[in-house]
A and B are shown apart, each in its own frame.
Chain A
């Protein structure tokens, strides 16, 4: 077992994320590391290319804070609520003209395309083939989506290029100090995004011993082998959620819509909740115990345990 990789969020972001990097804070609705995104804002990173299937509120906030130059994505919305308004202000004609800010650069795929891009990146392949994009305008909007013929003469498919982020950041239920990381609930494409990346930060609710990891090896999605830093940050995914620990704060997703529609309100929110706090601990203190209690699961639903057996 290698040594401890446990670091504070501030140190992990300072050491691992650089200006101009391609950064993927992954997690499909579940396990989105808002804490890492906010620390990137506090440290004033610039010119990042932000990759995520669903940019979600975290990239809306990061774009509003000015850390990003480009977005690589497949679904740009506030699920069940509406649009990502700060990002839209950097894309739509009238708002871009009014703000005088440069338009955000976009590189757009579908979900399967993005998952495939991470998969090709992780597997060291030149492209990923998929049966999508036929007769759509997506290959025109993004010329990196290209048709290829099967080498076996049975038709055509589309190809997407590998995505190899400089940094992938994932939130998880638990990891060991060495970075062996276990997740349950929605798995998204965190495994693929982590293996595709040059550097990996894991943010966890709970630091556990090596014995806990080894008692349930099927649940390990990322080995410490590819992890650079382990940050222990309970509630670090709020307003996203952690299966079994706390619920998605749907109220915040609804509240963000009117805030983000107004540039001044958006900047005021960032000043108060991101730049105005030292880190996640202070953010949660500000959010308050009542709100946190309201997000706890209504009851426990433990898995049955399985017997791996011992073989000597």
Chain B
């Protein structure tokens, strides 16, 4: 296959793998940053019928270019509906219409709990991060959550500094009970895609490596995770990006390389 000859970056592999995970999904809430390019790639490849929802107040967006921000005018022109943010968060998200919330993260733990607020102490932080935005309510109300982020010891940590968006809390059994009692609509995180591999969550609610990207090694994955990594019984190799996927990213979605370098 000639496709395998095409060189690609780790970021490109991550974006392609994340996009492929969206096959078959109907309504996706698009987060800022890497989720934005992954979802827009999916819309052009594996999920052409998928409805893109932006927290800025757009349902059924058809962006003609990749928006740098998630409030870009291109998400408005040609969309199915523009709503107030009140309607978006109440009727669409809290009302249960979102199948997948696609988030980025600064820190994540083994149960998929996410920190996007601070590194260090909240009142006296080492690094101030953006905060929740809509992520906290997306994590609770979207039917499932996908995460895309680069792997490092600083980001995949045993204990996150601040819980901005809840995942599987302290484990699957505990999380399922709390979700039921508190009436959450979501079942929590289902996939984490990184620059090294693809992780799903096992019966304990813990992240498990299912697939390594071509060129990535198990040692590398372990070295960039702050806990004892669980593996699928048979860890697969992610199929490399096709020439078509790479062309879409390079020529159409991110010609300036903002997301991929």
With A74-B133, A80-B33, A156-B182 as contacts: A188 and B57 at CB distance below 8 Å: yes
Excluding A111-B137, A112-B93, A189-B84, 12 further A-B contacts by CB distance (< 8 Å) are A28-B71, A75-B132, A80-B258, A112-B137, A119-B86, A130-B137, A132-B141, A136-B165, A137-B117, A138-B117, A185-B82, A189-B85
CA distance A29 to B133 in the complex (A): 13
Across the interface, do A188 and B73 meet the contact criterion of CB distance under 8 Å?
no
User: Which residues between 92 and 119 of chain A lie within 8 Å of chain B, taking CB atoms?
Assistant: 92-94, 108-112, 115-116, 119
Cα distance A91–B258 when bound, in Å?
27
A interface residues with partner B (beta carbon < 8 Å) = 28-30, 53-54, 73-77, 79-81, 83, 87-88, 91-94, 108-112, 115-116, 119, 130-138, 140-141, 155-156, 184-189, 191-192, 241, 243, 247-248, 250, 253, 297, 301
Determine the distance from Cα of A192 to Cα of B185 in the docked complex, in whole angstroms. Answer: 26
Q: Which residue of A lies closest to B175 (CB)?
A: A135
Query: How many residue pairs between the two chains, A and B, have CB atoms under 8 Å in the bound complex?
Result: 178
For residue B238, CB closer than 8 A to chain A, the reply is no
**A110-B137, A112-B94 are known contacts. Are A75 and B163 too (CB-CB below 8 A)?**
no
Q: CB distance A247 to B73 under 8 Å?
A: yes
**Contact-residue bracket for chain B:** 35 or more
Whole-angstrom distance between the alpha carbons of A247 and B77 in the complex? 12
Residue contact A187 to B57, C-beta cutoff 8 Å: yes
In the assembly, what is the distance between CA of A189 and CA of B89, in Å? Answer: 11
Residue in A closest to B93 when the chains form the complex, CB atoms = A112
B residues near A28, Cβ cutoff 8 Å: 56-57, 71, 85
- Chain B: residues with CB nearer than 8 A to chain A? 32-33, 36, 55-58, 67-73, 76-78, 82-86, 89-90, 93-94, 117, 120, 122, 124-137, 140-141, 162-166, 169, 178, 181-185, 258
Which listed residue, A110, A133, A155, touches B183 by the CB 8 Å rule? A155
In the complex, are the beta carbons of A132 and B56 less than 8 A apart?
A: no
Q: Is B130's CB under 8 angstroms from A187's CB?
A: no
Give A28 to B69 CA distance when docked, in angstroms: 10
Q: Are A93 and B124 in contact (CB under 8 A)?
A: yes
B126 lies within 8 A of A75 (CB): no
**B128 lies within 8 A of A92 (CB):** yes
Q: Which residues of B contact A111 (CB under 8 A)?
A: 55, 85, 89, 132-134, 137
The minimal Cβ–Cβ distance linking B11 to chain A, given in whole angstroms, is 15
Q: Is the CB of B134 within 8 A of A137?
A: no
A134, B258: Cβ atoms under 8 Å?
A: no
Residues of A with C-beta under 8 A to B84: 187-189, 191-192
What residue of chain A has the Cβ atom nearest to residue B160's Cβ?
A137
Q: Complex: how many Å from CA A80 to CA B254?
A: 12
Closest partner residue, chain A, to B185 (CB atom): A131
State the CA gap A301–B78 with chains docked (Å). Answer: 9
